[in-house]
């Protein structure tokens, strides 16, 4: 008899099945704002809408979906309850809807509440754990704290865009909230994408094993250094802070990321991590084009890594693990489009005479990449991995 798991239980045990599709739809909406604006359909400049939908909508939904699925499994703790999933889903959608309606202050408050609730739920699982999480996961906790504080600062100083608190809030939310969890999860996840075991892996135990605290301390030091650079650049140390941030990330990646092993998705994630470093270095080297450099970080770094990891999660939890053991032609096409989108968006800042056409081209390339990903990957999001229930 074929195993069938109740869908409500499946969504609670694996929240990515709800949050990944929602995040993809919000991403399409967030990027489509630019073609709609330049076509004259939207009359208000959509910079804030775009930023919020991409960070609080797209990337946050994927972060919640991934950590909500992986967190309880890694710690051998109970999965999320139906009530917890519904609370997070409601707050996530309400915040996105309010941003679409232009009520950014209320939406930012709700998003901060959503992240705080999510952090509380994960904290409960940490207390109930049978196994300890990897030490680098302290960066996940710090990233969630970045998101809560950043969203609150943006809400409180919504009408004071150029003040220090607003700028710090923007950096914490738009960069720290995503960058730190990627760094925290990266060593754990990349080893699995490469299908290798690490010689320095710590034993599974509820009590923090020997060696856990020093590694966690190193990761926390890197994370706090990155956060300190956001504050420093707000008070005039922008170039020094940018170089320090790039150096901190590079040191962490060199120290903690696996160097051996090859796989298609593993190499894809490495390309995304390299793009993160490239974006941070470009920001430090050419501060006049800071916004373009940040889009190297956002487009070919954050979003490309999210799409890569999501393939592993969805295929692996739907009985299609064999598919990511080889090259995926559709994802090669999507990757080319993502990197074309990044290039076009960067050129938009350094060639102002052609800015509009490059912004629209970047949007269409990114939308095309996401649509390809959605068509080839999302249909499997509702399929349970039957072999696990036999």
Q: How far apart are CA 311 and CA 370, in angstroms?
A: 12
- The predicted pLDDT at position 207 comes to 81
Split at pLDDT 50, 70, 90, the class of 62 is very high
Rounded to whole angstroms, what are the CA distances from 97 to 24, 37, 153, 239, 271?
A: 15, 19, 20, 36, 33
Q: Which of 88, 107, 133 is the last residue of a domain?
A: 133
Return the closest-CA partner of residue 68 out of 111, 114, 24, 26.
Answer: 114
Tokens at residue 188, please? 């754990």
Condensed to tens digits (0 to 9), the pLDDT of residues 216-254 reads 999 999 999 999 999 999 988 989 999 999 999 999 999
> Which range of residues forms the domain containing residue 371?
285-390
Rounded to whole angstroms, what are the CA distances from 190 to 67, 138, 153, 197?
A: 15, 17, 33, 11
Rounded to whole angstroms, what are the CA distances from 154 to 27, 113, 266, 273, 288?
A: 21, 13, 35, 28, 24
- The predicted pLDDT at position 162 comes to 81
Please give the model's pTM, rounded to 2 decimal places.
0.93
Condensed to tens digits (0 to 9), the pLDDT of residues 75-86 reads 889 999 999 999
Answer whether residue 337 is part of any domain.
Answer: yes
Tell me what the mean pLDDT of segment 6-20 comes to: 81
Three-state SS at 4: coil
- The predicted pLDDT at position 188 comes to 84
Tell me what the mean pLDDT of segment 194-208 comes to: 69
> Do the Cβ atoms of 176 and 226 come closer than 8 Å?
yes
Statement: residue 390 has pLDDT above 50: no
Condensed to tens digits (0 to 9), the pLDDT of residues 149-197 reads 999 999 999 877 788 999 999 999 999 999 999 999 988 888 877 776 6
Condensed to tens digits (0 to 9), the pLDDT of residues 277-306 reads 999 999 999 998 999 999 999 999 999 999
Q: How many CB atoms lie within 10 A of CB 100?
A: 17
Q: Which of 133, 165, 200 is the last residue of a domain?
A: 133
- The predicted pLDDT at position 3 comes to 34
Q: How far apart are CA 290 and CA 295, in angstroms?
A: 9
Q: How far apart are CA 231 and CA 221, in angstroms?
A: 15
Split at pLDDT 50, 70, 90, the class of 389 is very low
Tell me what the mean pLDDT of segment 194-205 comes to: 66
Statement: residue 5 has pLDDT above 60: no
Answer whether residue 156 is part of any domain.
Answer: no
Answer whether residue 258 is part of any domain.
Answer: no
Structural domain count, the chain: 2
Tell me what the mean pLDDT of segment 346-357 comes to: 91
Condensed to tens digits (0 to 9), the pLDDT of residues 94-135 reads 999 999 998 999 999 999 999 999 999 999 998 888 888 899
Split at pLDDT 50, 70, 90, the class of 386 is low
Answer whether residue 75 is part of any domain.
Answer: yes
Answer whether residue 244 is part of any domain.
Answer: no
- The predicted pLDDT at position 200 comes to 61
- The predicted pLDDT at position 161 comes to 75
Q: How far apart are CA 208 and CA 344, in angstroms?
A: 47
Q: Which of 133, 163, 184 is the last residue of a domain?
A: 133
Task: Using CA atoms of 374, 377, 66, 150 in order, give the dihedral in degrees to the nearest 10.
Answer: -20
- The predicted pLDDT at position 326 comes to 83
Answer whether residue 168 is part of any domain.
Answer: no
Q: How far apart are CA 40 and CA 33, in angstroms?
A: 11
Answer whether residue 304 is part of any domain.
Answer: yes
Answer whether residue 26 is part of any domain.
Answer: yes
């Amino acid at each position: 008899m074929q195993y069938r798991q109740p869908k409500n239980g499946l969504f609670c045990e694996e929240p990515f099945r709800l949050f990944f599709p929602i995040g993809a739809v919000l991403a399409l909406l967030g990027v489509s704002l630019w073609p709609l604006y330049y076509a004259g359909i939207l009359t208000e400049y959509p910079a804030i809408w775009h930023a919020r939908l991409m960070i609080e909508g797209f990337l946050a939904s994927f972060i919640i979906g991934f950590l909500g699925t992986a967190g309880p499994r890694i710690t051998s703790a109970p999965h999320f309850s139906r009530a917890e999933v519904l609370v997070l889903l409601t707050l996530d959608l309400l915040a996105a809807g309010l941003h679409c309606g232009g009520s950014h202050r209320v939406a930012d408050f709700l998003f901060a509440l959503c992240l705080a609730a999510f952090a509380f739920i994960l904290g409960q699982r940490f207390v109930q754990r049978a196994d300890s999480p990897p030490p680098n996961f302290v960066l996940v906790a710090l990233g969630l704290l970045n998101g809560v504080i950043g969203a609150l600062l943006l809400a409180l100083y919504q009408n004071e865009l150029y003040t220090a608190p607003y700028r710090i809030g923007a950096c914490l939310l738009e960069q720290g909230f995503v960058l730190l969890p990627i760094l925290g999860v990266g060593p754990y996840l990349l080893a699995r994408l490469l299908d290798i075991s690490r010689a320095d892996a710590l034993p599974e135990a509820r009590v923090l094993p020997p060696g856990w605290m020093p590694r966690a301390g190193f990761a926390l030091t890197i994370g706090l250094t990155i956060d300190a650079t956001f504050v420093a650049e707000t008070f005039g140390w922008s170039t020094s802070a940018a170089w320090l941030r790039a150096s901190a990330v590079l040191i962490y990646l060199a120290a903690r990321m696996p160097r051996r092993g090859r796989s298609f998705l593993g190499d894809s994630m490495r390309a995304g991590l390299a793009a993160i470093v490239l974006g941070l270095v470009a920001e430090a080297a050419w501060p006049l084009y800071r916004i373009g450099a940040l889009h190297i970080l956002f487009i070919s770094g954050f979003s490309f890594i999210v799409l890569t990891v999501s393939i592993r999660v969805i295929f692996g939890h739907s009985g299609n693990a064999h598919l990511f053991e080889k090259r995926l032609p559709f994802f090669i096409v999507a990757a080319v489009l993502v990197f074309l989108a990044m290039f076009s968006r960067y050129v938009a800042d350094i060639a102002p005479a052609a800015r509009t056409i490059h912004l629209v081209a970047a949007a269409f390339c990114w939308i095309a990449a996401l649509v390809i990903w959605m068509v080839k990957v999302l249909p499997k999001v509702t399929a349970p991995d039957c072999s696990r229930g036999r």
